[in-house]
Amino acid sequence: MIRHIILHSPTAYREPATVAQATTDDQLVALWLHARSRHTQRAYLADVERFRALAGKQLHQVTLGDVQDFADSLVSLAPASQARVLSVAPFHT
């Protein structure tokens, strides 16, 4: 569902009239990706989905240990790819 909201939104590149509040993980991700290029949205969305699948919990429940486990799961990627994928780390705060 989040992929559809982000990638098919007619307002994907517009500034919001007011600051919205997220009440779900999908809304939080959509707000985080707002106003980024479609290419960036697709890449980051795939990274967030990968992180959420590994963590297996809601974002507000994620711990530093979950982020560290996720980082450890990326050892097969090139360092630059690891850095991009780990850009989802702000969700653990």
37-60 pLDDT per residue, tens: 999 899 989 999 999 999 999 988
Question: What pTM, to 2 d.p., does this model score?
Answer: 0.70
Q: How many CB atoms lie within 10 A of CB 42?
A: 15
Give the pLDDT score at 92.
46
Q: What percent of the chain has pLDDT over 70?
A: 73
CB 85 within 8 A of CB 74: yes
Give the pLDDT score at 4.
54
Give the pLDDT score at 79.
94
Give the pLDDT score at 72.
95
- Is residue 81 predicted with pLDDT exceeding 60? yes
